[in-house]
């Protein structure tokens, strides 16, 4: 009986030890896995991991907090990154929720032109992240002017107004609406006989625009993104 109780006590001690040590031993492995899955290549990232033994048994990590600066991923450059993912699956990188922001973002389009975004806010689950992007007044004006020039419509003065832009074309002022059509931000079809795309996803991109709010101070664009698909794209 004493021998049996001794083995039970020893097993309990080892179990408690493993319960405490497992997260400590697993933490650097999780950090390495996050770095390996990063779309930013070898760029330095600060990674903080919170986990517990029960979560590890379920195959999840409680919390992963990632920060970085001057990062590059595909056609995007990010000045500052601060993102936290919760309940992250170890196997497929999905997560229950993300929150955070990207600052000073520059997106290079297929034609070589760029879109400058002051700030991007993220929230939601990995396969349907809500994205809110703030584009400043000057960046919005440059975006509109570049799109019109590409369409063969050089214009004079451009003003942001509620819901669109006020343009001066051939000495005439006209107000034109801007909205989201088929996942892209477009100028209404009153110009050049059709819609003019300001920016939008390329074929296969894991994001789509949903709506836009326009005021005299800039644009605020709402989008949805599948970050799992984005992470699994070739880099």
| Alpha carbons 67 and 45: distance in angstroms, whole number | 6
Q: Which helix (H) or strand (E) holds 144?
A: helix 137-150
Residue 6: what pLDDT? Answer: 33
Q: Which residue has the tokens 């664009």?
A: 221
Average pLDDT over residues 28-48: 81
Average pLDDT over residues 13-33: 50
pTM of the predicted structure, to 2 decimals: 0.78
Q: Where are the domains of the chain?
A: 1-108, 129-235
**Across the strands, what pairs with 214?**
219
> If you average pLDDT over each of 13-22, 94-103, 108-117, 152-161, which comes out highest?
94-103
Number of other residues whose CB lies within 10 A of the CB of residue 169? 15
Structural tokens at position 104: 């000073």
Residue 185: what pLDDT? Answer: 94
Average pLDDT over residues 21-49: 73
More confident residue, 49 or 118: 118
Residue 125: what pLDDT? Answer: 93
Residue 160 near residue 216 (C-beta atoms within 8 A): yes
More confident residue, 129 or 111: 129
Sheet holding 172-181, edge to edge: 158-161, 164-169, 172-181, 184-187, 196-199
Q: What's the mean per-residue pLDDT of the chain?
A: 80
| Alpha carbons 205 and 212: distance in angstroms, whole number | 19
- Tell me the three state secondary structure of residue 182: coil
pLDDT at 130 over 90: yes
For 171-199, give one letter per residue: b (16+ CB within 10 A) or e. Answer: eeeeebebbbeeeebbbbeebeeebbbbb
More confident residue, 21 or 210: 210
Dump pLDDT digits (tens) for 178-218: 999 999 999 986 565 678 889 888 888 888 999 999 999 99
Residue 165: what pLDDT? Answer: 94
**Across the strands, what pairs with 123?**
99, 130
| Alpha carbons 65 and 44: distance in angstroms, whole number | 14
**Across the strands, what pairs with 135?**
219
For 139-162, give one letter per residue: b (16+ CB within 10 A) or e. Answer: bbbbbbbbbbeebebebeebebee
Residue 202: which of 111, 102, 117, 101 has the closest Cα? 111
Average pLDDT over residues 32-47: 82
Average pLDDT over residues 49-62: 76
Residue 208 near residue 116 (C-beta atoms within 8 A): no
């Amino acid at each position: 009986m004493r021998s049996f109780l001794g083995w039970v006590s020893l097993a309990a001690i080892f179990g408690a030890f493993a319960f405490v040590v497992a997260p400590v031993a697993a933490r650097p492995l999780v950090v390495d896995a996050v770095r390996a899955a990063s779309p930013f290549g070898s760029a330095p990232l600060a990674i903080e991991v919170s986990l517990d033994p029960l979560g590890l048994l379920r195959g999840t990590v409680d919390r992963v907090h990632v920060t970085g600066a001057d990062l590059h991923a595909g056609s995007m450059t990010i000045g500052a990154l601060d993102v936290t993912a919760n309940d992250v699956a170890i196997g497929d990188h999905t997560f229950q929720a993300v929150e955070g922001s990207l600052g000073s973002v520059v997106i290079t389009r297929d034609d070589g032109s760029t879109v400058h975004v002051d700030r991007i806010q993220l929230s939601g689950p990995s396969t349907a992240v809500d994205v809110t992007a703030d584009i400043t007044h000057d960046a919005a004006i440059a975006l509109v002017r570049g799109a019109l020039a590409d369409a063969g419509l050089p214009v004079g003065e451009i003003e942001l107004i509620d819901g669109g832009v006020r343009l001066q074309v051939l000495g005439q002022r006209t107000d034109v609406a801007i909205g989201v059509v088929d996942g892209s931000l477009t100028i209404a079809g009153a110009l050049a006989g059709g819609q003019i795309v300001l920016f939008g996803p390329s074929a296969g991109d894991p994001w789509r625009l949903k709506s836009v709010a326009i005021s005299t101070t800039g644009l605020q664009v709402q989008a949805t993104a599948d970050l799992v698909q984005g992470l699994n794209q070739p880099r």
